């Protein structure tokens, strides 16, 4: 029996979708545990190419139950849209379940996300605009509406009416915006309820039963460690925990039940939105990595900021997640570069440091200390064994392993599922 958590080790977009899609073949349950439709996983498989925002990637594997856990905030319109897309491509979703404890994204969350960002002016976070922050804020403020609430329409109407009164006061009095109609939202969400009711369940019970039967479970991360509200570059973070600890909380499992924690590291760094990124390249090399890696947001289409691999951030990520193994993705994106750099420390106020500062003002001042390594300058998409990688690519991977302190079980050398080097199995 294995429970494997797949965790983004950087700022999201590490290529977790492909890793999860591969591992899902061996799992019986795949659980999304945090975030919402701010995430975007591109999955390429025999059914075609899919951009999934809310449905766990495991949905493609027959015999797999895909769960949207209690730690996720769910936009029902997006979820139903994705289900319909899958059905059109011949992928059925009878084994897709949503935790009755998962909070719902409501129309006012999306409106407020936009209004709050506008009010931040030059300090905007660069959110995805999907209402994620306001939905998680309501969860903690005890103003949320949960998937399970849709199952009792009368109670749902009462709850919505109370919350909406408060939200409309904020919309009209703080932001000078138009109020939202109770009837419109209620009717719309009742339609969602009819569509989703068969999929809403106590998913913690399902997982407990799966554990009892010793069935393998995969916990599918969204976003990345450096976007965590506690350990990321706060306040330039998301609003739920993408960490291994968040995986337990967002799925309803105990920490002792997780057997492997896999950190997914891209072979370089990217970030979308605002906030510090010490190794960012604002030059031709950054542009070359962006073009070679098609580094444009799956959810918003925004160009991602690109930079060298940050060994300081990576080590921090390993430490706070307790990674037991790693996946290194997109190694092939570096194929054409003659020279590569890896950040091994930061220079801060004249001193070299090897830790990731909590304070973004300090992080903003950090200058990366680089180590140079020769590139391999040849395509590696067809390589399937580590020993067949060009020696310089092997050296690069080994250095990443040393810096992260984490052995790489999987190395991805292309978009397709088969373009992968597997060194150790976790399932
Ligand atoms: P939010 O999660 O939409 O509130 O956005 C907060 C920050 O997290 C912004 O900088 C977003 O660009 C970033 N973010 C949210 N989801 C993702 C993701 O899936 N990949 C990369 N960045 C993300």
For residues 276 and 417, membership in a common domain is answered with yes
In the residue annotation, 41 being an active-site residue is answered as: yes
Range of the domain at 220: 3-101+199-260
In the residue annotation, 260 being an active-site residue is answered as: no
From the centroid of its chain, how far is CA 78?
17
For residues 407 and 279, membership in a common domain is answered with yes
Q: Give the domain-ending residue among 160, 180, 196.
A: 196
Residues 6+ apart with CB under 8 A from 29: 58, 64, 65, 66, 67, 206, 207, 210, 215, 216, 217, 218
Q: Tell me which residue has tokens 């109609």.
A: 181
Q: Is the CB of 203 under 6 A from ligand 1?
A: no
Q: Is the CB of 127 under 6 A from ligand 1?
A: yes
How far is Cα 345 from Cα 103, in angstroms, rounded to an integer? Answer: 40
What's the confidence (pLDDT) of residue 424?
Answer: 94
For residues 107 and 85, membership in a common domain is answered with no
Q: In whole angstroms, how far apart are CA 136 and each of 78, 94, 102, 224, 334?
A: 17, 28, 10, 17, 37
For residues 13 and 96, membership in a common domain is answered with yes
How far is Cα 275 from Cα 100, in angstroms, rounded to an integer? Answer: 34
CATH number for 189? 1.10.300.10
Number of domains in the chain: 3
In a domain, 427, yes or no: no
Question: Mutation test of ligand 1: which of 139, 223, 298 has the most ligand atoms closer than 8 Å to its C-beta?
Answer: 223
Where the chain has pLDDT below 50, the residues are none
How far is Cα 130 from Cα 106, in angstroms, rounded to an integer? Answer: 10
For residues 206 and 67, membership in a common domain is answered with yes
Ligand 1 center–CA 238 separation, angstroms:
6
> 328: closest CA among 394, 284, 382, 281?
394
In a domain, 394, yes or no: yes
Q: Give the domain-ending residue among 196, 223, 238.
A: 196
For residues 90 and 215, membership in a common domain is answered with yes
- Given 21, 37, 41, 310, the catalytic residue: 41
Residue 22 DSSP code: H
Q: Is the CB of 28 under 6 A from ligand 1?
A: no
Number of C-beta neighbours around residue 28 at 10 A: 18
Please name the residue whose Cα sits nearest to atom 19 of ligand 1: 39
CATH number for 300? 3.90.170.10
Q: Give the domain-ending residue among 151, 170, 196.
A: 196
Q: Is the distance from CB of 279 to CB of 343 less than 8 angstroms?
A: yes
Q: pTM to 2 decimals?
A: 0.96
In a domain, 90, yes or no: yes
Ligand 1 center–CA 378 separation, angstroms:
33
What's the confidence (pLDDT) of residue 5?
Answer: 98
Q: Is the CB of 133 under 6 A from ligand 1?
A: yes
Structure tokens given for 420: 């992968």
Question: Mutation test of ligand 1: which of 13, 238, 302, 360 has the most ligand atoms closer than 8 Å to its C-beta?
Answer: 238
């Amino acid at each position: 029996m294995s429970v494997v958590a797949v965790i983004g080790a950087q700022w999201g977009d590490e290529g977790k979708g492909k890793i999860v899609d591969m591992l899902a073949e061996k799992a019986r349950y795949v659980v999304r545990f945090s975030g919402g439709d701010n995430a975007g996983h591109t999955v390429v498989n025999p059914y075609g190419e899919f951009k999934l925002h809310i449905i766990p990637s495991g949905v493609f594997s027959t015999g797999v139950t895909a769960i949207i856990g209690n730690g996720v905030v769910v936009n029902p319109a997006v979820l139903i849209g994705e289900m319909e897309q899958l059905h059109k491509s011949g992928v059925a979703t009878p084994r897709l379940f949503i935790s009755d404890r998962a909070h719902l994204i409501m129309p006012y969350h999306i409106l407020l996300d936009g209004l709050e960002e506008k009010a931040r002016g030059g300090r905007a976070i660069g959110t995805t605009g999907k209402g994620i922050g306001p939905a998680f804020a309501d969860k903690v403020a005890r103003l949320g509406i949960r998937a399970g609430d849709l199952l009792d329409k009368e109670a749902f109407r009462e709850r919505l009416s109370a919350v909406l009164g408060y939200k409309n006061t904020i919309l009209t009095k703080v932001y000078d915006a138009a109020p939202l109609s109770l009837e419109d939202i209620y009717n719309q969400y009742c339609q969602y309820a009819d569509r989703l009711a068969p999929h809403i369940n106590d998913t913690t019970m399902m997982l407990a039963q799966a554990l009892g039967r010793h069935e393998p479970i995969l916990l599918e991360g969204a976003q990345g460690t450096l976007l965590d509200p506690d350990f990321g570059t706060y306040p330039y973070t998301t609003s739920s925990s993408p960490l291994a600890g968040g995986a337990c909380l967002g799925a309803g499992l105990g920490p002792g039940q997780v057997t492997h924690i896999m950190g997914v590291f891209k072979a370089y760094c990217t970030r979308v939105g605002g906030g510090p990124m010490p190794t960012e390249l604002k030059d031709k090399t950054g542009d070359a990595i962006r073009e070679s890696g098609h580094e444009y947001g799956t959810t918003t289409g925004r160009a991602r900021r690109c930079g060298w691999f940050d060994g300081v951030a990576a080590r921090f990520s390993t430490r706070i997640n307790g990674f037991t193994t790693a996946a290194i993705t997109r190694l092939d994106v570096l194929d054409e570069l003659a020279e590569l750099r890896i950040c091994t420390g930061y220079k801060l106020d004249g001193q070299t440091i090897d830790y990731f500062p909590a304070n973004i003002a300090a992080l903003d001042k950090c200058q990366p200390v680089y180590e140079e390594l020769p590139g391999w300058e040849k395509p590696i998409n067809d390589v399937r064994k580590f020993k067949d990688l060009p020696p310089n690519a092997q050296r690069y991977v080994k250095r990443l392993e040393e810096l992260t302190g984490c052995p790489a079980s999987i190395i991805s050398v292309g978009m397709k599922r088969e373009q992968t080097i597997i060194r150790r199995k976790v399932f």
